[in-house]
Structure 1
Amino acid sequence: MSQPESITVEDTGMRSNVRQGWWISALAAVVVAAGACVDEKIVYRDGPAFVAPPAAAANFLGYSDTATNKTVCGNCHVTQQGKWSQTAHSDAWATLQGSGYAAATCEGCHTVSNKGNKVTDANVAYNSTKDVRYHDVQCESCHGPGLDHVTAPARGQMLASVHADTGAGVTNGCAECHTGTHNPFVEEWRSSRHATSYTRGYNGATATAPDIPFGPRAACKGCHIGQDVLASWGVNTNYEEKTKGNVIATAEGVTCVVCHDPHGSEHPKQLRYAVDATDAESNLCAKCHNRRSTPDWSGSRDSPHAPHGPLVFGTAGWWPPGIEFIETQSTHGSSANPKLCATCHVQRYNVNDKTTGQFQVTVVGHRWLPIPCVDANGRPTDSQSCTVTGRSFKACASGGCHGNSELNARSAFISAGNDVAGLTTLLDGMIAQVPSNQFGAGKVTAGRGAKFNSEMAKMHGSEVHNPFLVKTLLRYSGVALNQTYGIPIPPGLAPTPADVKRVRITTPTTR
């Protein structure tokens, strides 16, 4: 095999005594040259120069070009620099200055500082230098100081955290800044089921292979354990907790980084997927809220698991043979509601004291409560066990829906709930008369299909996600049981003229 005839090391003249570790790319060039079996002249070069950071900055690098917001990191991590430059983080300093509320106490979260990374000493980067090179929320805000990495680069350095503060005093990650009365993202998240989703992704002591006792449950971990959600979505970025999801003690729930890409994305708010996409695989919420939305005949469970997305889109449930649905979407899943799930579940508004008019808190919608229990001022309460009259229907009445009236929205909610409850009671009475041999794993029967529709209708929120489809499915499930088993349809369960308009009978079934 021929060897390179010469190797020349050529310096470009650094503007400081800090040399970046560009030897990795040079080594790669040697490997390529040797594998190609040709004579080549390989030239080693230092990368772009940068001004050494002030000693007081404690190894934080910041910008290499403040005029263009080019970070030192971005000289090599070009793709990430490009994505980040389109985010609100890249303009955080100007946003603060233009807000009308700029104050020194805010600067730590609008600059490179100890906020968001492992550093606990506040006297670093912008805080200690007031240098413009540390304006904005840059790479090092999450990854920590980069000087050691650029002088002696190696994999596994400067790993950011995907952890969200759960109240345990963690001084790392998004929660250090996205907190407080104006941005209480972490405070709301702590009270949500997203924060504890990982607890529902593990097996008990009696689990058998292929699932390990107390280990991640294979069928659940891709939506309940943060590390596995990211992996299932093809996120291969390295981070501090990446390999720690195999035990419950170090697993993450659905944290900020699961839904938001810290480096930036093509979607608003740095979301990994769109919230306005009308198919389950492309919609952020429906990526996980889309489990067993139609019967799994091979299993023994005649109930859905997380059919919320398909219900909104109008594709959920057991559709009796011989019936084709013409209209399946409710207004909640139509162009009248472009943000779909997010319209109701992620609402942002300010709460003021009704007596004094003084600001209390900004609600940011990160408890994902569409109709929360609220106090006298309209602030969501810790407990969510109130009656329907104690709930806010602000989200439902937004954007012209329900005549912009919370009263109208509440009335529609109560009416739909009563309708669905009455229909499921009637259908369950018919299901109870179906022969027992019609149920069980592997059996494809009208009895199992009708039971699936009844259980789906009873799930919390079904009467809102798509009341028209749910009620039509219940009524035609009754028709299927009548035609298949001869069970009489009770008064009140027969299809209405509105149901008839939503379906087309293709192959009528008779006993």
Structure 2
Amino acid sequence: MIKKLMPFLAVIFIFSLAVFTACTEEKEKLVEIMVHDTLYVNVEIIPVIIDDIEINPEMISVGQSITLTTNITKESYVGDLIFTWRANGGTFNANVGDTVTWKSPDEAGTYTVSVTADDGAAYSGFGKRNIGVGMYAATADTYYVGAMNCVGCHSGIRTEWAETGHAHAWASLQTSDHAASYCNPCHTVDFDQVPGNAGYDDAPIAKFENVQCENCHGPSSFHPGSEGNPSISYKEDNCITCHSGDHHPFEADWNASRHGVASTNHGSENSRCQPCHSASGFIAAYGGGVEFNSDDPGDITCSACHDPHSAAIPYQVRTIADVTSVEANRQTAVIKVSGNGQLCVQCHKARRSADTEIEEGYEHFGPHASPQGDMVYGVSGYEFYDVQFEGSFGGENTGHAVIEDACVTCHMYATPYPNANTGHTFKANPAACAKCHGIIDDFDDIQANHDFDGDGAVEGLQSEVTGLMTNIEVLLVAAGLDTVGHADIVEALGATMNDTLATGEPDPAAQELRRGGYNYAFVYDDKSLGIHNPTYTIQLLLYSQDYLEGLINGKGKSIRETPMLSAHEKAIVPF
């Protein structure tokens, strides 16, 4: 149906089961109009407007047919129009002409039918209508269509997703002992109780059950295409809408963690640091198939550690790949701890070693913050490989490297409601130690088996380690370390990189201070005061103490064998 154009009039028709939209993509024409004796203005005239797509009947169910007719307004200079019809589902009896019949698909949902009217020369118009099949038609420009709409291009991802908990979220709710309607929003696609976008609240049908692609990526009725590019965000918002509250307070726990502020540190702006200071950087570095997104880097959020598309690793952990240590003591090692703890080692590892730090110095002295993976595995400390000493260095990993899931077991110890704790503060919990060490209230309740710091008392392991570090601080100052104006010993050691001889050559005395102090920095950055690896920690500190005493007392570069090196002795009991 074609009629004469009425300027400045736009009409939108809305039916109970169908919504029409006339788009303004038509080619336009400027017409000069006199509005005063001396004033002329240019007015845009749209030569072709599709006013409406009429439907008959207005109500349609699965598998039924409907008649579609276009109503057109056009200028007199526009030629004869050719009509081309398209739809994102169903079939036409013809795809030309101003009136066609469309048969709906065999699945309920909202479907978009569009028509282009073109005179084959200069002018065209475009219109589209949402049609509800077995449900109300979506009134939103983009609406939900269900995961099966994604299979054509993303079948591999969909196959992996089908094994995740999200893919079975509806069934898990229904088979639980607490299924209720107020649970539906987190077990379906877009149950927001706002009509118009064809989510589960508009159409409580099977295609919108479970947590699907569109829960995180947004409605995809016009994807692929510039109008319908999916949302990809690394922020925690995607997850905390559901993973929060008193019963599973992931949001509150994560917000209390250091991971929640990782990008506010300096690291996310440096390409070398991005993999461990941003979700986007971590995913790009560890097999996510994406590039770093500087506009939306994210903190170390849920999607950094958990792959929403795959359950190949328990708890949908993104990677547990082996980690090769930094070259230290002229060798490297493959760090491999138990289970999902290996995820943590991807970032919690040394980046620098004594091999270069001692000789050349560095302002940020030490292995780089958080070398816990190396400490647990018993590598990357300074083992005095280039110094002659009695006996051999007995560095080794401990039971902490091989207990189930390693880091996770102690640092993600979870407790149920009503005092729910998801473990996502990542703060080690003494309750996790009970299985091996008995019930303790504090980590220092784990006793050492020797007076390692020489203060005349056998104390808790952390107290012994603290005592050894105090001994080394005293020895470093006695050996010439200038601590004035520095926040701590590690910062003072970093400042020695500027110590040179009159010739401009590095000062050998500064190198000896760094040699004696490197393990102090290693233990300092580990932060566990020996808990991660008691034997390795004690060895590193005792050897450093012996070396510094030799420098001061004229013993030269020899180190005595420490009492804990015999085969039957360990740093703590029982372990």
Indicate yes or no: 2:424 matched with 1:424: no
Instruction: State the one-letter code of the partner of 1:19.
Output: N
3-state SS of paired residue (2:530):
helix
3-state SS of paired residue (1:406):
coil
Indicate yes or no: 2:262 matched with 1:161: no
Indicate yes or no: 2:300 matched with 1:254: yes
CA distance in 2, matches of 1:451, 1:135: 60
CA contact (8 A) 1:430 1:487 kept: no
CA distance in 1, matches of 2:399, 2:88: 60
More helix by share: 1
Indicate yes or no: 2:440 matched with 1:406: yes
CA distance in 2, matches of 1:267, 1:112: 25
CA contact (8 A) 1:420 1:471 kept: yes
Select which of 60, 72, 76 maps to 2:153. Answer: 76
State the match for 2:264 in structure 1. Answer: 199
State the match for 1:447 in structure 2. Answer: 513
Residues 104, 52 of structure 1: CA spacing in aligned structure 2 closer, same or farther, 3 A cutoff? closer
CA contact (8 A) 1:275 1:340 kept: no
Select which of 318, 341, 345 maps to 2:411. Answer: 345
CA contact (8 A) 2:376 2:398 kept: yes
CA distance in 2, matches of 1:299, 1:319: 17
CA contact (8 A) 1:57 1:129 kept: no
**How far off its partner does 1:487 sit?**
4.8
3-state SS of paired residue (1:227):
helix
CA contact (8 A) 1:312 1:332 kept: yes
Select which of 308, 314, 317 maps to 2:378. Answer: 314
CA distance in 1, matches of 2:109, 2:182: 24
State the match for 2:144 in structure 1. Answer: 60
Residues 410, 105 of structure 1: CA spacing in aligned structure 2 closer, same or farther, 3 A cutoff? farther
Residues 243, 424 of structure 1: CA spacing in aligned structure 2 closer, same or farther, 3 A cutoff? closer
State the match for 2:37 in structure 1. Answer: none
Structural mapping, 1:88-487, within 5 Å: 88-114=165-191, 124-149=198-223, 153=225, 157-165=229-237, 173-201=238-266, 216-237=269-290, 242-245=293-296, 251-274=297-320, 279=335, 283-292=342-351, 294-295=353-354, 296-297=356-357, 298-300=360-362, 301-304=364-367, 305-321=369-385, 322=388, 324-333=392-401, 335=402, 337-351=403-417, 360-371=418-429, 393-397=430-434, 400-403=435-438, 405-407=439-441, 411-412=445-446, 415-434=460-479, 439-440=496-497, 445-459=511-525, 460-483=527-550, 486-487=553-554
CA contact (8 A) 2:444 2:461 kept: no
Question: Taking structure 1 as the reference length, what is the TM-score of the superposition?
Answer: 0.67
3-state SS of paired residue (1:236):
coil
**How far off its partner does 1:500 sit?**
4.4
CA contact (8 A) 1:198 1:253 kept: yes
Structure number with greater Rg is 2
3-state SS of paired residue (1:284):
helix
3-state SS of paired residue (2:258):
coil
When structure 1 is superposed on structure 2, of 342-351 and 410-419 the one drifting more is 410-419
**How far off its partner does 1:427 sit?**
2.0
Question: Taking structure 2 as the reference length, what is the TM-score of the superposition?
Answer: 0.60
CA distance in 2, matches of 1:364, 1:402: 23
**How far off its partner does 1:200 sit?**
0.7
State the match for 2:39 in structure 1. Answer: none
CA contact (8 A) 1:163 1:255 kept: yes
State the match for 2:163 in structure 1. Answer: 86
Residues 454, 197 of structure 1: CA spacing in aligned structure 2 closer, same or farther, 3 A cutoff? same
3-state SS of paired residue (2:335):
coil
CA contact (8 A) 1:113 1:122 kept: no
Residues 319, 121 of structure 1: CA spacing in aligned structure 2 closer, same or farther, 3 A cutoff? farther
Instruction: State the one-letter code of the partner of 2:398.
Output: S
CA contact (8 A) 1:430 1:481 kept: yes
CA contact (8 A) 2:260 2:301 kept: yes
CA contact (8 A) 2:543 2:562 kept: no
**How far off its partner does 1:481 sit?**
3.3
Determine which structure has greater relative contact order: mean sequence separation of CA pairs < 8 Å that are 6+ residues apart, divided by chain length. Answer: 1
